[in-house]
Amino acid sequence: MARAPQTLFDKVWARHEVSPETAAAPAVLYIDLHLVHEVTSPQAFTVLRERGLRVRRPDRTLATMDHSVPTVTAQVFGGVPIALDSAARQVRELENNCAEFAVELLGLTHAERGIVHVIGPELGLTQPGSTIVCGDSHTSTHGALGALAFGIGTTEVGHVLATQCLLQRRPRTLAVDVDGRLAAGVTAKDLILSIIARLGVAGGTGHVIEYRGATVRALDMEERMTVCNMSIEAGARAGMIAPDETTYAYLAGRARAPRGAAWERSLAAWQKLPTDPGARFDREVSLDAGAVEPMITYGTNPGMVMPIGGHIPQRSDDPAFDRALDYMGLMPGEPLKDRPVQVVFLGSCTNARLSDLRSAAGVLRGRHIAPGLTMLVVPGSQQVKRQAEAEGLDRVFLDAGAEWRESGCSMCLGMNGDVVPRGHYSVSTSNRNFEGRQGSGARTLLASPLTAAASAVRGRVTDPRELL
Amino acid sequence: MGVTTPAPFTGLTSRTVVLPVANIDTDQIIPARFLTTTTRADLGSRLFADWRYDERGEPRPDFVLNRPHAEGCRILVAGRNFGCGSSREHAPWALLDYGFRAIVSTEIADIFRNNALKNGLLPVTVDAATNAWLIAHPGAQLSLDVATATLTLPTGVKVSFPLEPFARHCLLHGVEELGYLLARLKEIETYERRERHA
């Protein structure tokens, strides 16, 4: 009997069922790769210790530190103590836990350390068809390579450490089809912000998204990561893109990707992953990439977003909307373009890969950031940092008056000493514009690296197409 | 050693606290700067920190948790889409440490819902009309029954809410998922041999 056509998600899910779900119990789902970081793991290791359990598969577990680590070089390498005591304790605790439980750690001064969602793909650990979890909601990033990857809480971190499995109900599937060509100055960030605008911040709840269509196929690997990264901002725990030649070319030769005969075997398996013709999704949405413009957020969730030349919408009888604009110090009907900004942040698991730094440097080369503006450039990993330095991008940023830091989550979430001051406007390439996300009272405008760089030059919200 | 199984949770009766805000994200429930802790202790004092306290750390008198009637309330009623954002389990830990045992909204984000259930915090999603009624009646006395997954309004009207059967079983009987998974290690090993993962 011919098997019913399956989606990419269906295939990955089926392959990882230790036992399928029943009415009474969820599936036991096997996890191929567990990424661990300092913030969401300490309490899980404590549970293991209390119960006398070990990490069952240290070979499928990799730890690094990114959220609470400093990005100031002297605090990372210079023997200067980490400024935040609590962060320093958390870093030490991860070091101790990894030593005690024999988990490999890419620690503070390791040459391969970085934001967990940057280093997984970079090292070749993130592979098509695999299941990947991490105690972080942006684990969806890894879906760009055709993995089923999603964020979990600390209790589940403990479950995976102890058993390499999770209890999971099968999510629904949502196809997002994108066709058409992105215009010059319009990036993958603008595309995903447009998709979130379309779906709404809860539109993907309960679903795994598969991004499909000619536009998605034409994206390079790092652009695909930017798209999948923000799936969670539409409420979806995971976003996936079917592997193809772009994926294989990206993975080939990476430090921890398969080699030789193992590569050939893996490749043969990966090539069977894409969604079969005629496979059904629970929902389908389509979008025209040609209509996407550079996007910027004006409110306090990523769904409150508009084209950069637009006007903030008017909405009556929506207290959440009024509250958000009040926090942002903005009025309905006004434009954002040309509004003065005080901070620009180029970084985060969304937009701190080499191609992001290159595109921002392209705008900043031979230019200077506006007087009084602070611009932080935080590479996504130490490898990205070295690659950027080898190309001279660090000089471009420094000559322009920006700060060039060590890798980490930095100003994306303000828990490591890098914060936006109260009341200041920040054009940020990160993923969340929630109240206080970049620091108490900080006002975040999410945008692409191009828009961030252009706005840094002018000191005002700027359409990057004016500077290209 | 301190292995504790969760106490069975069959339901509760309590007055509500109403926070009529949509899309309350995990950064509002507990801001990231408090996540450098390595334990679960004392997070209740950080709950909704930026809404609850001013820049000097003084309680804002107009915030609902700082009003006398909030004392002892164990059910939080919120606007649509509660708990969106990060995977931080510190969010349900903070709500529980403060004293809440149930969250009512029209929608509750996936990761928050999972984290809540694993800690005995009951996520209750209701239709928009019921939620609007609850928002309009702060302090209403509600009963929540886990076995039947029903919410009873002070009017006597019963509203059912979705509760995943296994999660309901775990809540009712104080079953911890980790123990359930550990009991299935043989199957996991068989899977690993079959898929050559071992």
CATH of the domain at A309: 3.30.499.10
> So what's the pLDDT on residue A317?
85
> Mean pLDDT over all residues of chain B?
95
Residue A261 located in a structural domain: no
Specify whether A160 is located in the same domain as A218. Answer: no
Helix (H) or strand (E) holding B129: helix B128-136
pLDDT, one tens digit per residue, over B44-89 is 999 999 999 999 999 999 999 999 999 999 999 999 999 999 999 9
Residues in CB range of B142: below 8 A, 6 or more apart: B13, B14, B15, B16, B75, B104, B134, B151, B152, B153, B154
Task: Write the CATH number for A182.
Answer: 3.40.1060.10
Please say if the pLDDT value at position B1 is more than 50. Answer: no
Residues from chain B that touch A231, judged by Cβ atoms under 8 A, are: none
What order of strands is seen across the sheet that includes strand A443-446?
Answer: A403-404, A374-377, A343-346, A425-428, A443-446
Residues from chain A that touch B86, judged by Cβ atoms under 8 A, are: 136-137, 151
Nearest chain B residue to A42 by CA distance is: B38
What is the percent of chain B with per-residue pLDDT over 70, rounded to a whole number? Answer: 96
Indicate the residue of A30, A163, A235 with minimum beta-carbon distance to B84. A235
State which fold the B11-162 domain adopts: Aconitase; domain 4 (3.20.19)
Specify whether A335 is located in the same domain as A434. Answer: yes
* Sites in chain A below the pLDDT cut of 50: none
Specify whether A39 is located in the same domain as A60. Answer: yes
Indicate the residue of B2, B166, B192 with minimum beta-carbon distance to A24. B166
Task: Give me the residues of A, 318-337, that contact B with CB < 8 A.
Answer: 319-320, 323
B79–A320 C-beta distance less than 8 A:
yes
CA distance B92 to chain A (A): 10
Containing structural domain, residue A220 = 172-242+250-255+270-290
For Cα atoms A235, A238, A241, give the angle at the middle one, nearest 5 degrees.
125
pLDDT, one tens digit per residue, over B109-152 is 999 999 999 999 999 999 999 999 999 999 999 999 999 999 99
Residues from chain A that touch B79, judged by Cβ atoms under 8 A, are: 320
> So what's the pLDDT on residue A318?
87
* A to B CB pairs, distance under 8 Å: 182
A109 touches chain B (CB under 8 A): no
B22–A68 C-beta distance less than 8 A:
no
Specify whether A149 is located in the same domain as A176. Answer: no
> So what's the pLDDT on residue A54?
98
Residue A306's Cβ-count burial label (10 Å; 0-12, 13-18, 19+) is: buried
Split into its structural domains, chain A has a count of 3
A269 touches chain B (CB under 8 A): no
Q: How confident is the model at residue B2 (pLDDT cuts 50, 70, 90)?
A: very low
Specify whether A312 is located in the same domain as A187. Answer: no
CA distance B51 to chain A (A): 10
ipTM: 0.96
* Domain boundary residue, one of A108, A138, A168: A168
Locate the DSSP E strands across A231-342. 238-240, 283-288, 295-297, 305-307
Residues from chain A that touch B27, judged by Cβ atoms under 8 A, are: 413, 432, 434-437
Q: How confident is the model at residue B4 (pLDDT cuts 50, 70, 90)?
A: low
> So what's the pLDDT on residue B197?
63
CA distance A379 to chain B (A): 21
CA distance B140 to chain A (A): 22
Distances (CA, A) of B168 to A27, A170, B82: 16, 17, 20
Q: What would the DSSP string read from start to end of A225-245?
A: HHHHHGGGGGT-SEEE----H
> So what's the pLDDT on residue A316?
83
